[in-house]
Amino acid sequence: MATSSLPRDRVGAWLQAAFGALPLVSVLSALVLLVLGARAAFTRRPKLLPLPTKSFTLLVILVACAAVGSVAPAVSWAGPLLFAAYFLVVWALGRYIDRPARLWAIVANVFWGAVLSSVVGIGIAMAHLHVDTQFMGVLIRLGTPDDRVASVFYHPNIFSGYLLLATGLGLMLLLQRRHLARAAVGAGLAVVLLAQLMTSCRSGWIGTLVLGLLIGVLLDRRALAWMTLGGGIGVSACWSMVLPRLQTLLEPRFGSNLHRRMVWESACQMIAARPWFGWGPGSWSVAYPRFENPEIVEVMPHAHNLYLMIGAEYGLLVLVALVGTFVSLVVKAILETRHGRWSRHVTILGCTIVGYLVLGAFDFILTEGRNSILFFSMMGLLVGVRRMARAERPGTGTICFISNGPGEDEVAASIARSWPRKGYRLRAFPLDGSGLAYHRAGLPMVAPMRPEAGGGLTPHGTGFFRFTGVPGSLLRTWEQFRALRKLRASFDLAVIVGNARPLLLAHLADIPFVFVGRAVSDPDRTGRPTMFHWLDRLLLRHPRCRAVYPRDPAMVSSGDPGHSGHIAADAASLATPIED
C-alpha cells in the first residue's frame, strides 16, 4: 500500500508540533499543514476519503473568477491559493486520522493548548499587564488597556473565536474520557469558558451560547444544565465586567454597534454594485472607501461580518458555495454516523462549527491565521471520523449491476450468473429498457422504471454531452441519480457496464465501483481503434474506482463464460460477503 514517503509516526509528530505551536507561531503551523496536505493530495495512490472535492473545486474556480475581475489584481491572485490551502489542511487531517488514537491525540493537543493560553491570558489580565513591542518586525502584544483577556493573540475577539472552537474539542474529550481524566477535562473547560467570558467579546458569547444550546437540545440536556450552572458562576464572579458589555447589546447608539451597522450598510451597497463575483479577493481597502459612511470615525479593516465580507470581496456565488460546503460536510457526517459510536462526537463537532458560523455574523473570522487553520482542521476531523466510521461499518454483501442498454444488460447479467452467490445479494439497476436480461438471470430490480427506452445523458465523440431519445430523458436521469443516492449505503460495490453515463451517475452517488468498459480492441466504422472517452478516463482515475475491465466484443458476443467468470471472481474479491 503506497503512503506518504514520510513514516506515519513522523507525520503524526509533525502534526502534533504544528498544533502545539499554533497559538504562538501560526505561520510555521500553516507551512507544516500545507506540506503534509500536499503530500497527501499528490500521493501516487490516494486513500478513498470522504472529502468535499467537488465542492472545493467549484469553490476555487469561482474564487479564481472573482480574482480575474478584481479591482485590486495585485493582491487578488492570492484568493484561489488561500482556498486551495484551506482544502489541503482538510486533506492533511482527513488522511492522517484513520484510527481513534490519532484523533484523540490531536484533539487533546489543541484543547490543552487552549487551556494553557487561557491561563496565560487570565494571568495577564489580572496583573493589569499591557505591552506593545516590535521584535524583528513582528508586533508582540500582551494584554489590553481595558484588561480584556487576549492571551498571546492580537485581539480579544480573535482569541474568543479560538476558544469557541477549543470548547467544542473539550466537550468531545469530556465525552470520551473517564473518571479522573474526565474531571481534569472538566476543570480545563471551566478555565476556557472563564477566559471566554473575560474576553468581553459579545459575538464569542453568542456563539458559545448557541453551541451550548445545540448540544443541550440535540445531545444531552445535562450538558446544557452544567454549562448554564458554570456560566452563572462565571457571570457572578465577573459581574462588574460582564454587565456593562451585556447592556451595550441593547444600545443602538453604542459606538461599536453603530459602527457595525454603518459598515454593514456599506458592505451591502458593495454587494449590490457587483453581486456575482464581488470586487475581488483582498480588495476591501481599495473598494470600501467608495461606499464608506462619512459619519463613521473608526477604521474598518473588514466588514465585521463573515458573510457580508465574502459577498463584497468574492461575490454571492462564492458565498453560497462556501456556506453550502460547510453545511453539506456537517450534515453528511451527522447522517453517515448517526447509528454508530461516533454519532455524539460528530454532533459536537457539527454544533461547534455552527456556533462558529453564528459568531461570523458579527465578526470577520477568516482574517487571522490561527482561527482559520483551526476551523478548517475541524473540517478535517469530520472527514477523518467519517472515514473511521466507514471502515467500522460491516459489509452489506449487496452488489448492484448498473448498465445503460439491452446489450450492456446482457453483459452484466452474464457476469451476475458467474458471481459467487453465497454471501452476496445481487441487484439490478438498468438505466434504459426493461431489464429483460436481468429478469432472465433472476436479479431483483431496484431502479425506478419508466416505459420509454433509450435516451439520457450521453457523451459523444465531439467532447460534448447531448440528450438523446424521447423527451423527459433529463428527468429520468435525475430520478435514477436520486435513487442511487438513496440506496448507496446498502451497496458494497457497483458493477458498471456501459459508458460514461452510468459511470458518472455512480461516481456522483458516491458508490465504490468496478467498470466493465466499451470495446477498445476492435476498429469502429472508420477503421480506427475505439478508445475510452475522455470522461471515462477522468472518472476511472478516482480512488472510488476499484478495478477496470476493458471489453473485447468478440469475446462477449460469443458468450465466453471464461471472460465473465474472470470478471465476477476478481470483482467479488473487492466486496465484503456476509454470513448466511
Give yes or no for residue 557 having a pLDDT over 60: no
Residues 265-320: tens digit of each pLDDT: 999 999 999 999 999 998 998 999 999 888 877 778 888 899 999 999 999 999 99
Q: Rounded mean pLDDT of the chain? A: 80
Q: How far is CA 476 from CA 123, 465, 473, 479, 486, in A?
A: 65, 16, 5, 5, 15
Q: At 223, give phi and psi (nearest 5°).
A: -60, -40
Per-residue buried b or exposed e for 557-580, using 16+ beta carbons within 10 Å of the residue's own CB: eeeeeebbeebbeebbeebebeee
pLDDT for 74: 87
User: What integer is the mean pLDDT of 200-227?
Assistant: 83
Instruction: Report the half-sphere exposure of 488 (CA within 13 A, side-chain side).
Output: 19
394 DSSP 8-state letter: P
Residue type, 164: L
Indicate the SS3 state at residue 560.
Answer: coil
Q: What is the pLDDT of residue 389?
A: 85
Alpha helices in 509-574 (DSSP H): 534-540, 553-557, 561-572
Distance (Å, rounded) from C-alpha 138 to C-alpha 124? 20
Burial of 291 (0-12, 13-18, 19+ CB in 10 A): middle
Cα–Cα distance measured from residue 531 to residue 523, given in angstroms and rounded to the nearest whole number: 10
- The lowest-confidence range among 118-127, 316-325, 347-356, 510-519 is 510-519
pLDDT confidence band for 258 (50 / 70 / 90): confident
β-pair partners for 139: 134
Most confident range, picked from 37-46, 106-115, 142-151, 465-474: 106-115
Per-residue pLDDT at 6 exceeds 60: no
Mean pLDDT of the 475-481 span: 83
3-state helix, strand, coil in the chain (%, to 5): 60, 10, 30
Residue 580 has a pLDDT of: 47
Tell me the mean pLDDT in the region 192-214. Answer: 89
**Pairing verdict, β 131-135 and 398-403:** unpaired
Does residue 3 contact residue 44 with C-beta atoms inside 8 Å? no
In the predicted model, is pLDDT for residue 165 greater than 90? yes
Neighbours of 49 (CB within 10 A): 20
Cell readout for 185 is 477535562
Whole-angstrom Cα Rg for the chain = 28
Q: What confidence tier does 169 reach under pLDDT thresholds 50, 70, 90? A: very high
Reported as a single tens digit per residue, the pLDDT across 360-404 is: 998 887 767 889 999 999 999 999 998 888 777 777 788 889 988
Say if CB 397 and CB 577 are below 8 A apart: yes
pLDDT, greater one: 569 or 558:
569
- Region 99-114: mean pLDDT is 93
Nearest to 443 by CA among 394, 401, 381, 408: 401
Give me the amino acid identity at 130.
Answer: H
- Give the span between the Cα atoms of 444 and 452, in whole angstroms: 20
pLDDT, one tens digit per residue, over 410-437 is 888 888 888 887 778 888 898 887 788 8
Alpha carbon 265 to its chain centroid, in Å, reads: 31
What pLDDT digit, counting tens, does each position of 516-538 carry? 875 555 444 455 555 566 677 77
At 298-309, the pLDDT tens digits run: 778 888 899 999
Q: CA torsion angle for 381, 383, 385, 386 (degrees, to 10)?
A: 160
pLDDT the model gives residue 251:
66
Given a cut of 60, whether residue 339 has pLDDT beyond it is: yes
Confidence of residue 192 (pLDDT cuts 50, 70, 90): very high
- 8 Å CB contact between 26 and 11: no
The Cα 280–Cα 152 span in angstroms is 31
Q: Which residues contact 119 (CB under 8 A, 6 or more apart)?
A: 191
DSSP β-bridge partners for residue 545: 513
Taking 80 as the threshold, does the pLDDT of residue 350 lie above it?
Answer: yes
In a 10 Å sphere around its CB, with 0-12 CB exposed, 13-18 middle and 19+ buried, how is residue 235 labelled?
middle
pLDDT value for 8: 56
**What is the pLDDT at residue 379?**
92
| Residue 425 φ then ψ, to 5° | -115, 125
Report d(CA 168, CA 56) in Å as an integer.
Answer: 24
Sign of CA dihedral 525, 531, 534, 538: positive
Could you tell me what percent of the chain has a pLDDT over 90?
Answer: 23
Q: Tell which wins on pLDDT, 569 or 2.
A: 569
CB 551, CB 517: distance < 8 Å:
yes
